[in-house]
Amino acid sequence: MSRPKVFVTRKFPAVGLERISSSFDADIWEGELPPSREELLKRIQGCSGVLTMLSEKVDDEFFDAAGDQLKVVSQYAVGYNNIDVESAKRRGIAVGNTPGALTNATADLAFALLIAAARRITEAHDYIHDGKWKAWEPLGHIGWDLEGQTVGIVGMGRIGQTFAKRCHGGWGMNVLYTARSPKPDAEQELAAKRVSFEELLEQSDFVSVHCDLNEETKGMFDAAAFKRMKSDAIFINTARGSIHVQPDLIDALKSGQIGAAGLDVTDPEPPSVDDEILHLPNCVVAPHIGSATRSTRDAMANIAVDNLEAGIAGKPLRCSVT
Ligand code: NAP
């Protein structure tokens, strides 16, 4: 009996690839970069399942190209803003993602960016490499204190709450948050206070974005939002680049409207090498590496393959978004 055909849009951890190759007629894209749209639409024809990354736009054109036998799209990420979930639902195609597995790693990265921005690590690193370090400097590279500051968390979900635990438990920070619904556990355990978006902007020393990208959150950090923030506030975004309006962020960083930023996500992503966001001394940028630890990526691979197998077998997915 022929095995179900699946397409995997990028190489990912061996633990997942081995499972896929042993169960399915697997076509694995070997390129360092994602397949072109044309190539993607060609490769998914006749597939029962497709394992996608956030680089693939999964829309009506994608579903039409795959054909009626497509049963599941398994996303190798927790965010799935690249997928038209309503269209998948209408067509009876299951959609899976990998929540939870990457929570700690992404919260850690947000904290790494906060410390790097606060202590001006990349600026100091460049200073040495530019041959400017001549002696210990009593007035050089003065940064921000973390202990006891107020952190504002936009999107108090899995990653937001985990980041809040580090801020509150490790550095004694006061925690403010916004979310669509109250989070009584966080309020009790972390003394976190739910406030309006405007209050959060005005009162926080550090603002960290952890909401998903949706109609409400797209562009929510624009010129008006940065204007409300403290002039020495630090802005951290490890969620999605288009939650901030990048030209407005650049203006805010250049004009001193805010103090510094740490980004794991940009808009566009990736930015071109001459994009101004990469050349500001007060902005630390990482190439979307929130989940990039060994055990995290392996755990994500196992969830994604579980989702793929269940979807093709017509069973409920381990982690479903439909
Ligand atoms: P989650 O548990 O679903 O948390 C998302 C939170 O956003 C929820 O608490 C939700 O509120 C809140 N939210 C949604 N719309 C909002 C709005 N308009 N205003 C305020 N809060 C809003 O998801 P997660 O696992 O923590 O992941 C969060 C996001 O991080 C993902 O969607 C993904 O885009 C990003 N991410 C990035 C990386 C990376 O590599 N940089 C890695 C993993 C995830 P309610 O709870 O009230 O609904």
Instruction: Express each pLDDT in 173-217 by its tens digit.
Output: 999 999 999 999 999 999 999 999 999 999 999 999 999 999 999
**Would you say residue 290 lies in a domain?**
no
Q: Answer whether 196 contacts ligand 1 (Cβ < 6 A).
A: no
How close is the Cα of 18 to the center of ligand 1, in Å? Answer: 31
Residues 68 and 120 in one domain: no
Tokens representing 11? 């190489």
Q: Report the residue among 82, 156, 161, 212 best suited for mutation to probe ligand 1: largest number of ligand atoms under 8 A from its CB.
A: 212
- Is residue 288 lining ligand 1, measured as CB closer than 6 Å? yes
Q: What is the spatial distance between Cα 167 and Cα 31, in angstroms, rounded to a whole number?
A: 39
Pocket of ligand 1 contains residue 208 by CB under 6 Å: no
- Determine, yes or no, domain membership for 216: yes
Same domain? 79 vs 107: no
Tell me, yes or no, whether 132 lies in a domain. Answer: yes
Q: Are residues 62 and 165 in the same domain?
A: no
Q: Who contacts 73 (Cβ-Cβ below 8 Å, separation ≥6)?
A: 49, 50, 52, 58, 83, 88, 93, 94, 95, 96, 311
User: Does 241 contact ligand 1 (Cβ within 6 A)?
Assistant: no
Do 225 and 255 belong to one domain?
A: yes
Per residue in 73-85, pLDDT (tens digit) is 999 999 999 999 9
Is the alpha carbon torsion for 209, 110, 269, 258 positive or negative?
positive
Q: What is the pLDDT of residue 322?
A: 87
State the pLDDT confidence band at 9, using cuts at 50, 70 and 90.
very high
pLDDT tens digits for 279-299? Answer: 999 999 999 999 999 999 999
| Whole-model pTM over 0.75 | yes
In a domain, 153, yes or no: yes
> Which pLDDT tens digit goes with each residue over 126-151?
999 999 999 999 999 999 999 999 99
Distance (Å, whole) CA 277 – CA 260: 11
pLDDT for res 153: 98
Query: Do 159 and 235 fall within a single domain?
Result: yes
Let me know whether 266 and 213 are in one domain: yes
| Residues 155, 303, 75, 268, CA torsion sign | positive
In a domain, 267, yes or no: yes
Q: Is the domain of 237 the same as that of 254? A: yes
As for how many domains the chain has, the answer is 2
**pLDDT tops 80 at residue 1:** no
> Using CA atoms, how far apart are residues 6 and 28, in angstroms rounded to an integer?
8
* In the chain, % of residues over pLDDT 70: 100
From CA 234, how far away is CA 110, in angstroms rounded?
12
Whether 118 and 190 share a structural domain: yes
Over the chain, what is the mean pLDDT? 97
Residue 155 belongs to a domain with what CATH number? 3.40.50.720
- 315 Cα: distance to centroid of ligand 1 (angstroms): 27
> Quick check: is 171 in a domain?
yes
151 and 197 assigned to the same domain: yes
Q: How far is the CA of 155 from the centre of ligand 1 (A)?
A: 5
Residues annotated catalytic, as ranges? 240, 269, 288
Whether residue 318 lies inside any domain: the answer is no
With a cut of 80, say whether residue 8 has pLDDT above it.
Answer: yes
User: Is residue 166 located within the same domain as residue 93?
Assistant: no
Ligand 1 neighbourhood includes 162 CB (under 6 angstroms): no
CB of 79 closer than 6 angstroms to any ligand 1 atom:
yes
Q: Is 252 in the pocket of ligand 1 (CB under 6 A)?
A: no
In which domain, by residue range, is 109 found? 103-285
Q: Is the domain of 303 the same as that of 180?
A: no
User: What ranges make up the beta strands (E) of 108-233?
Assistant: 150-154, 174-178, 193-194, 206-209
Question: Residue 97's pLDDT band (boundaries 50, 70, 90)?
Answer: very high
Residue 38 Cα to ligand 1 middle (Å): 31
- 147: CA distance to ligand 1 center in Å? 25
Domain shared by 153 and 225, yes or no: yes
pLDDT digit string, tens, across residues 218-237: 999 999 999 999 999 999 99
Does any domain span residue 317? no
Residue of minimum CA distance from atom 20 in ligand 1? 179
